[in-house]
Amino acid sequence: MAVDLYPTALIAVAITAAGIIGLKTKISSSIFEVGAGMVLANALGIGIIPWLDFLGTFGGLILTFLAGAEVEIALLKRQAKQSFGIGTMAFAAPLVGIVTVLTVFTDWSWQAKLAGGLALTTTSVAVVYAVLTEYELIKTPTAKTIIAVTFVNDILTLLGINFIQTSFDLVTVAFVVIMIALIPTVPILLRKVVRDFGRKAVEIELRFVLAILFAISFFADQASLHSVFGAFVLGLIFANTIQQHQEILSKMRTVTFSLLAPAFFIRAGMLIALPAIIANIILVFGLLGAKLLSKFIGVYWLCKKCIPEAPMFSTMLFSTGLTVGSITATLGRQLGYLSDIQFSIIIAAVILSAVVPTLIAKRFVPTNIINK
């Protein structure tokens, strides 16, 4: 089958333009990639071509894997008590809040409500990390607790997507057993691959990671779980080892940020029906408001107790969301839980949740602990 070069060229130009605008404005290019996708689909009538569909799916898997691989297991263990308490509430409260709002104001199916709710429960590790770094808080104990909570929140969201429609069987059990077996095996295997084949032009270590990623994603699918859940758990298993091999992470980032992540976000943008957002703009802002309010109700008092130096700042940071929210919404649409209109509404609310709480959080920076 010949590749249609007209949409291919337009998409390639859009990816480049989004990257340049991102660099110039110092805003992550993913936001502009979603915007470019919206323009391509809504204004130029470009559809999702097969290679973009594949790269977008690949991008979603690798982004999820990298999100898992970023989790600092040692930090999570050290901060277990506080992070699990706040993280669980940061996950559960918005889930209840969003599902309630959708139940009262829409006639969405319960799977759609759950998928939408899960997409809006997340906390963006990257957004939080950038704010903490910007205000020189990153090395403080406060920041460690906040980061650990965001990890717990994401883990629970990605675990939650398996419960939208449960049909676990023996293959699920086999999947769990194999994942447990991989925990001690992966570090040994990766070290061996790096030692025997590393630093060669053919990049065997990268091929090795990608092969396991696809195999586990496929296995997760067969086990009545979701491929992105498999990718995330694999990332968690790889986390400790791969963080010691920064050269592999660096190569993965190159592949991800040059091609796969743009494909994922452009495709997500192309799936957005702009008229649906305009027609449902009150619901979009209502969902954003519900996320902020339910996160506030769920975690503010806990933050006041556990992070007394920055309760409002922490609460607002826990209300951000972008990558895992977009991945969850995309998965919800792929599985048929969310219609195109519902997906458009949820993804718009997810993107707003990256921006609005961050801007509010910056008004509550705990300047008293900076430079301590």
Partner 1 sequence: MFEKILVAFDGSKPSEKALDAAIELAKKFGSVIHLVSVITLPDYAVLKNEVAEVQEEEGKFYQELQNKAIESRKGEVGIKSVIIYGHPTDRIVDYAKSQNFDLIVVGSRGLSTTKRFFLGSVSDKISHFSPCPILIVR
Stretch that binds partner 1, among 131-139, 163-171, 186-194, 205-213 (CB under 8 A): 131-139
Q: Under the criterion CB under 8 A, does residue 355 sit at the interface with partner 1?
A: yes
* List of long-range contacts for 214-220, beta carbons under 8 Å, 24+ apart: 214/61, 216/179, 217/61, 219/175, 219/178, 220/175
User: How far apart are alpha carbons 109 and 127 in whole angstroms?
Assistant: 31
- Does 127 bind partner 1 (CB under 8 A)? Our answer is yes
Q: What is the rounded CA–CA span in Å between residue 7 and residue 1?
A: 15
Among 9, 12, 13, 27, binds partner 1 (CB under 8 A): 27
How far is the first Cα of the chain from the last one, in angstroms, to the nearest whole number? 62
Among 9-17, 125-133, 159-167, 310-318, which window interacts with partner 1 (CB under 8 A)?
125-133
Nearer residue to partner 1 within complex by CB, 124 or 344: 124
Q: What is the C-alpha separation between 347 and 329, in angstroms, rounded?
A: 7
Compute the distance between CA of residue 113 and CA of residue 219 in angstroms, rounded to an integer.
27
Closest approach, Cβ 117 to partner 1, in A, equals 22
Cα(147)–Cα(125) distance, rounded to whole angstroms?
7
Closer CB to partner 1, residue 167 or residue 371? Answer: 371
Give the residue, chosen from 70, 193, 276, 311, that forms a contact with partner 1 under the rule CB under 8 A: 70
148 counts as binding partner 1 under rule CB under 8 A: no
Nearest to 88 by CA among 138, 146, 153: 153
Among candidate residues 288, 260, 281, the one with its CA nearest the CA of residue 344: 281
Q: Are 268 and 34 in contact (CB under 8 A)?
A: yes
Is 155 one of the binding residues for partner 1 (CB under 8 A)? Answer: no
Taking CB under 8 A as the criterion, the residue among 15, 89, 125, 276 binding partner 1 is 125
Interface pick for partner 1 out of 84, 129, 197, 364 (rule CB under 8 A):
129
Q: Is 364 in the site for partner 1 (CB under 8 A)?
A: no
Task: Tell me phi and psi for residue 164, to 5 degrees.
Answer: -65, -45
* Per CB under 8 A, 239 contacts partner 1: no
- The answer to whether residue 363 forms part of the interface with partner 1 (CB under 8 A) is no
Residue 310 binding partner 1, by CB under 8 A: no
Among the listed ranges 123-131, 156-164, 192-200, 307-315, the one in contact with partner 1 (CB under 8 A) is: 123-131
Total residues contacting partner 1 (rule CB under 8 A)?
Answer: 35
For the CB of residue 257, give the shortest distance to partner 1 in the complex, in Å: 7
Determine the Cα–Cα distance for residues 105 and 264; give it in Å rounded to an integer.
30
User: CA 253, CA 237: separation in Å to the nearest integer?
Assistant: 18
Binding residue for partner 1, selected from 10, 39, 126, 360, defined by CB under 8 A: 126
Amino acid at 105: F
Among positions 315-354, residues that touch partner 1 (CB under 8 A) are 322-323, 354
Give phi and psi for 201, each to the nearest 5: -60, -25
Counting contacts by CB under 8 A, is residue 136 touching partner 1? yes
Beta strand extents in 274-318 (DSSP E only): none
Binding site for partner 1 (CB under 8 A): 22, 26-31, 63, 66-67, 70, 124-127, 129-130, 133-136, 249-250, 253, 256-257, 261, 265, 322-323, 354-355, 358, 370-371
